[in-house]
Structure 1
């Protein structure tokens, strides 16, 4: 199924950037054990939210995979939004609208600019969700 390829392309690009960044940002992936940094430093949470696949031809050979890729920036609560918003700007630049990522003749496209949702405040952390829509087609 192509969701696996889409996940690998999007998460792979995020991981390469986050690892090379100074300071590096740890990433919590779906269904993978993760321990947040003990010192309260920022980290990311990545989610692939696929929508129902569709087909736009009468033969049924075409499949369109669509969905949302969400990256949440988690920072200490009570320090303001500056750190999270700076990281959000870097991630938005990493995934510009119309970016294409290809693996083995399968291409996924970023189909919307990165959007920021309202921050979610907890007792010890604040989470700033960012997301964009994606699309990939097969024939």
Structure 2
């Protein structure tokens, strides 16, 4: 199921990235970003649980984090505007579906304090997801 969860979340991010004209760096893909703003996608699955005694009805939960990464010394306004666009795109109760599998964004996406290092200024945005399934 994690591959389906990844596909749903990343394809939804791809929509807003294309609208904003931003590249995305996905997990385990080597990339050397230019001196431009880009998005970074990370999926953090949590423990899978069941809500029936046989364990056939599974609950897949986790956190999806999208980071807006800008070159250092370029200011914060554009990164903040991009963050706001991502929050609007991943609204609470957004449903993402593939075949008979549905995933929901079940928290309001939240911006966390920016992280600054020698080369980048990064604004992390995190949201919870959940999918209930019958196997």
TM-score scaled by structure 1?
0.93
SS at match of 1:109: strand
Q: Which residue of 2 aligns with 1:33?
A: 30
Deviation at residue 100 of structure 1 after TM alignment: 0.4
Structure 1's consecutive aligned runs of 4 or more residues displaced over 6 angstroms after TM superposition are none
Partner of 2:106: 111
Q: Which runs of 5 or more structure 1 residues have no equivalent in the other structure?
A: none
Separation in structure 1 between the aligned mates of residue 13 and residue 130 of structure 2, nearest angstrom: 17
Question: What secondary structure is seen at the aligned counterpart in 2 of 1:35?
Answer: coil
Match of 2:78 among 72, 83, 98: 83
Alpha-carbon distance between aligned partners in 1 of 2:73 and 2:32, rounded to the nearest angstrom: 21
Question: 2:13 and 2:55 mapped to 1: Cα distance?
Answer: 33
Partner residue of 1:4? Answer: 3
Rounded to whole Å, the distance in 1 between the matches of 2:130 and 2:16 is 22
**Unmatched runs of 5 consecutive residues or more in structure 2:** none
Equivalents in 2 of 1:92, 1:60: separation in Å? 34
CA–CA separation in structure 2 for the residues paired with 1:135 and 1:59: 20
Give 1:9 deviation, angstroms. Answer: 0.5
Report the CA distance between 1:79 and its aligned residue.
Answer: 2.8
How far apart are residue 113 of structure 1 and its match? 0.5
Query: Could you give the per-residue CA deviations for residues 44-63 of structure 1, whole angstroms, max 9, x where no partner exists?
Result: 10000000100011121110
**Alignment RMSD:** 1.0
In the alignment, structure 1 residue 17 sits paired with structure 2 residue 16: yes
